[in-house]
Structure 1
Amino acid sequence: MRSIRFDTGASTLLAATLALAMAGPARAADKIVFLTSWYAQAEHGGFYQAKATGLYEKAGLDVEIRMGGPQVNGMQLLLAGEADAIMGYDIQVLQAVEKGLPAVTVAASFQYDLQGMMTHDDVTSLAGVKDKTILVSSAGMTAWWPWLKKKYALSDGQVRAYTFNLQPFFADKTVVQQAYPSSEPFQAQEKGVPVNFFLFAKDGYPPYGTTIVTTRKLAEGKPEAMRKFVAASMEGWKSYMANPSPANALIKAANPKMSDSQIAFGIARMKALKVLGGEENVAIGTMTEARWKASYDYLVEAGLLKASTDWKRAFTLDFMPVLSAKAE
């Protein structure tokens, strides 16, 4: 496994930014309720690490992390004021903006959306799924499927519903299915089934992953609190990749079904896929207008978003952290 090192100059700047929160007269910490997108897992580790190691507290923040799940509508809770920020994704926010809702993305933990395809080991690329039965969830049909279908000249006739049960995949080598790198492939490993995993982003799927989404009211009304939350969270990701033990204790406390072996598998996959963007030497949390435009263009072309949508309101670059990462 290739190690990750972090630019010391940028880290010094970030440390100075966090230290500013401690300067001056003592005052009450800014409260932020952060809602994740699913049950606690390695892919949420940077936030739990910032909580476990006191990074939020040092920044003058009182952060409460609440766990999402299949019955939790994060965007609804955000807009209702039940959460100050949520773990989101680009398509969700662009479609909210289309409806006139005041959601805005302030940072991206991962440079890639982690959605991908799991295949049996005879398939060597995404192009190899052309003659396969493809298991896709209902959410996938209105997110990444139109992109994949067009890119590889696939057809809707290949699709069968993915019900989050892997038995159809295990029973039939002509079946491929949607997957996240640390979930379904881990289950296949546990069952002794050799598989390949292909990240859509590596073939050009544009959205970011594990983003921080808030409301315009909070971003504009408490910009310093949000800036400190982003900076401390990204510092948490740096720390988590170096020594995940503190966060893992919180993850397992929140989600007792999460095993040490699955967490370790998830961390290894994140490092292998370089989800933080270290290989390109970009700052952790970085977003660009060009990438958001690419997501907008895809959604409009696929008929998933109105062309009239003011896509630039879906994100802001005002909270970008200074932390940078390099891969060795």
Structure 2
Amino acid sequence: WLTASRGFTDAQFKQYNYAMAPFLADKASVQQAYATAEPLYLGKDGVKTDVFLLADQGWEAYSNLIEARRDMVEKNPAMIQKFIDASAIGWYQYLYGGDRKAAYALIKKDNPEMTDEKLDQEVAKLQELQMIDSGDARTKGIGAISGERLKRFGGDMVKAGVFGASDVDLKTLVTEQFVNKGVGLDLRAKLAK
């Protein structure tokens, strides 16, 4: 996509190895990173970085999707709805609720290198960059999906040569059945005061 849309060449791409050393060694380089992590860690070491979200450059893919098998969706839609609603409400509480002790404890259990300070900084960065609660989510709720956006993304991928026009039918892969219902908007309004 970057090659097709922004004129990059294949020679400019290097395999991402999760190390910051190559980035630090070459001031003209750009590196993939988690916007809520590496820039904060580097900043703590006195390294100033700029963050450029691919979404701001036209990359319209959704990230961090909730996936389920088709048979589960068909046989137990009520469970799917409850899971998605609870996920949205959980995100509102995490972003705007204030008391994150329980969430932090679970995160640190699997990531012992994390501290409350690091997690507070990451939440602030999530809010600053509007990575969870932005775009359609502002009016339709966290987890919002737009069929038009998916259509544009599919067109971009065909144009970039990632797949052919008839290779993927996005309508069979994604459903709006469980989203765009405004779940949690009232909670955000209450918590964000």
User: Same fold, TM exceeding 0.5?
Assistant: yes
Describe how 1:213-232 pairs up with structure 2 within 5 A: 213-232=67-86
Instruction: Deviation per CA, 1:235-289: give whole Å up to 9, x if none.
Output: 1111111222221111111221222232122111110111233466321111010
Q: Could you tell me which amino acid in structure 1 is paired with residue 129 of structure 2? A: L
SS in 2 for 1:253: helix
State the distance in 1 between where 2:17 and 2:135 align: 35
SS in 1 for 2:30: strand
Counterpart-to-counterpart distance in 2, 1:229 and 1:159: 38
Higher relative contact order (CA 8 A, sep 6+): 1
Unaligned runs of 5+ in 1: 1-146
> Is contact 1:299–1:305 with CA below 8 Å preserved after alignment?
yes
2:14 match: secondary structure: strand
Percentage of pairs with the same residue: 33
Aligned length: 182
Equivalent in the alignment of 1:299 = 157
Kindly indicate whether the alpha-carbon contact (under 8 Å) linking 2:36 and 2:122 is maintained by their aligned counterparts in 1: yes
Matched residue type, 1:184: E
Question: Could you say what the CA RMSD is over the residues aligned between the two structures, in angstroms?
Answer: 2.0
1:186: Cα distance to partner? 2.2
* Letter of the structure 2 residue corresponding to residue 286 of structure 1: A
Q: Give 5+ residue unaligned stretches, structure 2.
A: none
Please give the alpha-carbon distance, in whole angstroms, between the structure 1 residues aligned to 2:71 and 2:2.
36
| Structure (1/2) with the larger helix percentage | 2
Query: Are 1:157 and 2:11 matched, yes or no?
Result: yes
Instruction: Return the alpha-carbon distance in structure 2 between the equivalents of residues 284 and 251 of structure 1.
Output: 21
**Structure 2 counterpart of 1:171, which letter?**
A
How many angstroms does 1:166 deviate by?
A: 0.7
1:292: Cα distance to partner?
Answer: 1.1
Distance (Å, rounded) in 2 between the aligned partners of 1:245 and 1:211 = 25
Specify the alignment match of 1:315 in structure 2.
174
TM-score normalised by length of structure 2: 0.85
Q: Distance in 1 between matches of 2:5 and 2:105?
A: 41
Report the alpha carbon displacement of residue 160 of structure 1 after superposing the two structures with TM.
2.7
- List structure 1 runs of 4+ shifted beyond 4 angstroms: 325-328
User: For the residues of structure 2 that align with 1:299 and 1:278, how far apart are their CA atoms?
Assistant: 23
2:126 corresponds to: 270
**Quick check: which one's strand share is greater?**
1
Instruction: Output the CA distance in 1 between the equivalents of 2:163 and 2:135.
Output: 32
